[in-house]
């Protein structure tokens, strides 16, 4: 059962929250540390935000953890992030199982190092039967790559004679994304203050409510999440329509 704090009483809880977890490096630098210190502390925010979303009754949480373009960072930082990811995948299993969370991932997973993939597969397999919140990590993820992969898969079906091009509609495209059947995000949070989407879920965020905060990801904890949800809750989502006929 959802466990709603007083500050969120009566608020509409988004079904699907997506997060661009940005600002780890800058936060670390501000503290006089190296960037990796920020990634370590960012992992703590991941734990807290995941637990809190599950507690609030959020149905799906998609976290942008590593982008397709993040491979272009210095080798040492990439290697550190992969080690951190592997450790997270092992250490979080208990928490995932205790909270009935179904763990999944989107992105070009085959590009991840083999040892990371192994732990990823195990965490996914072990939580497959869970019925609570879906936690989806975007790894080696890029929205344009996702769309290119979808178009390729659709073209293959056309070539094989299983699909008539005239029958292609929005559902066909949604159905070939990395998480077919997932509802679109209701709320997209970006920490770190930059007002951009950085190749994240371009198709899926057509009508998503956006919340950008200057708070760096390692400092984005429970109370900050509540602020974002409260703001979301007050918005009027019109989806191109008008409230009532005159």
Enzyme catalytic residues: 22, 70
Examine residue 22 and tell whether it contacts Mg ion (CB under 5 A): yes
Residue span 2-21 as binding mask against ligand IPE, x where in contact by CB under 6 A, dash where not: ------------------xx
- N-terminal to C-terminal alpha carbon distance within the chain: 41
d(CA 36, CA 39): 5
Within 147-243, strands assigned E span 187-190, 209-212
Distance CA 113, CA 242 (A): 49
- Residue 22 or 52: the one with the smaller Cβ distance to Mg ion is 22
Q: Which of 9, 18, 14, 6 is nearest to 135 (CA)?
A: 18
If phi > 0 it is left, if psi is from -120 to 50 it is alpha, else beta; for residue 178 that is: alpha
Determine, following the binding rule CB under 6 A, whether residue 25 of this chain makes contact with ligand IPE: yes
CA dihedral over 86, 88, 90, 93, signed as positive or negative: negative
Please report how close the Cβ of residue 36 comes to ligand IPE at its closest, in angstroms.
9
Taking CB under 6 A as the criterion, the residue among 68, 81, 134, 137 binding ligand IPE is 81
Contact string 186-225 vs ligand IPE (x = CB under 6 A): ------x-x-x-x------------------x--------
Residues forming the site for Mg ion (CB under 5 A): 22
Q: Which residues bind ligand IPE (CB under 6 A)?
A: 20-26, 64-67, 70, 81, 192, 194, 196, 198, 217
């Amino acid at each position: 059962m959802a466990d709603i704090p007083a500050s969120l009483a009566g608020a509409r809880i988004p079904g699907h929250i997506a997060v661009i977890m940005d600002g780890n490096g800058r936060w670390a630098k501000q503290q006089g540390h190296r960037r990796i210190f920020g990634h370590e502390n960012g992992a703590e925010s991941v734990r807290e935000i995941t637990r809190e979303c599950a507690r609030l009754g959020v149905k799906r949480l998609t976290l942008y953890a590593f982008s397709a373009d993040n491979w272009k960072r210095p080798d040492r930082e990439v290697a550190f992030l992969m080690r951190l990811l592997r450790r997270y995948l092992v250490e979080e299993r208990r928490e995932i199982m205790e909270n009935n969370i179904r763990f999944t991932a989107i992105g070009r997973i085959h590009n991840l190092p083999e040892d990371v993939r192994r732990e990823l597969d195990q965490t996914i397999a072990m939580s497959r039967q869970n019925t609570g919140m879906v936690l989806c990590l975007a790894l080696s993820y890029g929205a344009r790559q996702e769309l290119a992969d979808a178009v390729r898969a659709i073209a293959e079906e056309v070539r094989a004679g299983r699909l008539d091009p005239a029958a292609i509609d929005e559902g066909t495209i949604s159905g070939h994304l990395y998480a077919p059947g997932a509802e679109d995000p209701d709320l997209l949070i970006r920490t770190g203050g930059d007002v951009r989407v950085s190749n994240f879920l371009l198709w899926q965020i057509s009508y998503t409510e956006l919340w950008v905060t200057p708070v760096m990801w390692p400092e984005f904890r429970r109370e900050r999440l509540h602020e974002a949800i409260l703001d979301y809750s007050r918005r009027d989502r019109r989806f191109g329509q008008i409230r009532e006929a005159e």
